[in-house]
Amino acid sequence: MARRFERALIVGASSGIGEALARRLAADGCRVALVARRTERLEALETALNEGGEERVRGWVHDVRNRGEVPGLFEEICRWLGGLDLVVYAAGISHRVAFAEYDTEKDVEVLEVNLLGAVAWLNPAAARFGRLGRGTIVGIGSIAGDRGRVGAPAYNTSKAGLHTYLEAIRNRIARTGARVVTIKPGFVATAMTEGLPGLFWVVSRERAAEIILKKARRGVVTAYVPARWRLVSWVVRAIPSRIFRHLRV
């Protein structure tokens, strides 16, 4: 049965897919808590979404690398929302690295934001939803996490780790009635993809948000955005390693 979302928390809400999800949920009448690092963008979004009505959207400034802040923030947000139906982890970064570049600092930052931040936020969400036997977790992974590629080892790793983590918490809590949805977008028109060469099948972030919410309401296990990327992923994963390493993709 499709679920209704009345109270949602979005981590990484100030831009990209997170922002588009926030706008869409708010437009549907959902009460939304926004968590993001950039104060100005967050405040602007909060103001825009609350315009002309009661406060249905509130922002919390937080850098997902500060994992110690999460338990307190999580409880505070649940209290402000008056419950929690949906948690979306949409925070993500990607550093452009050269083919032979091995920059540990950059890579650790990617892992901290894309993976460890997700663990910090989704652990309390999974504990809560598992106890209550309800609730939906959505993790924004990437098709890039399906294979280790030469262009972005840390990004690939962070998304692959996220996919595995989401699968693991799904296996822990799905039997209670809670849902964990792994989203694997292809190319979405956001700041992360801006200016990248060779993009195709690019969808707008609004369209991506629409698809993601539809899949989240249905509680699917894994959704490619848009769905045709599933075929691409299947082909890419089927290529033997000894061939894949020569492809330079």
Residues taking part in catalysis: 155
Nearest to 33 by CA among 112, 86, 95, 105: 86
Q: Which is nearer to other proteins, 6 or 206 (CB)?
A: 6
Q: How far is the CB of 215 from other proteins (least distance, A)?
A: 18
Residues lying near other proteins in the complex (CB under 8 A): 1-2, 4, 71-72, 74-75, 78-79, 82-84, 127-128, 131-134
Nearest to 135 by CA among 205, 89, 83, 99: 83
Q: How far is the CB of 9 from other proteins (least distance, A)?
A: 13
DSSP 13: -
Can you tell me whether residue 183 is helix, strand or coil? strand
Helix spans in the chain (H): 16-27, 39-50, 70-81, 104-111, 117-132, 153-173, 205-218, 229-238, 241-244
Given the structure tokens 């549907």, which residue do they identify?
28
Q: How far is the CB of 109 from other proteins (least distance, A)?
A: 28
Given the structure tokens 């262009």, which residue do they identify?
151
Q: Which is nearer to other proteins, 116 or 127 (CB)?
A: 127
Q: How far is the CB of 72 from other proteins (least distance, A)?
A: 7
Torsion of CA 87, 90, 91, 92, to 10 degrees: 150
Q: Which is nearer to other proteins, 66 or 83 (CB)?
A: 83
Q: Which is nearer to other proteins, 131 or 214 (CB)?
A: 131
Q: Which is nearer to other proteins, 93 or 125 (CB)?
A: 125
Mode of pairing for the β-strands spanning 7-11 and 86-89: parallel
Here the tokens at position 86 are 């949906």
Q: How far is the CB of 71 from other proteins (least distance, A)?
A: 6
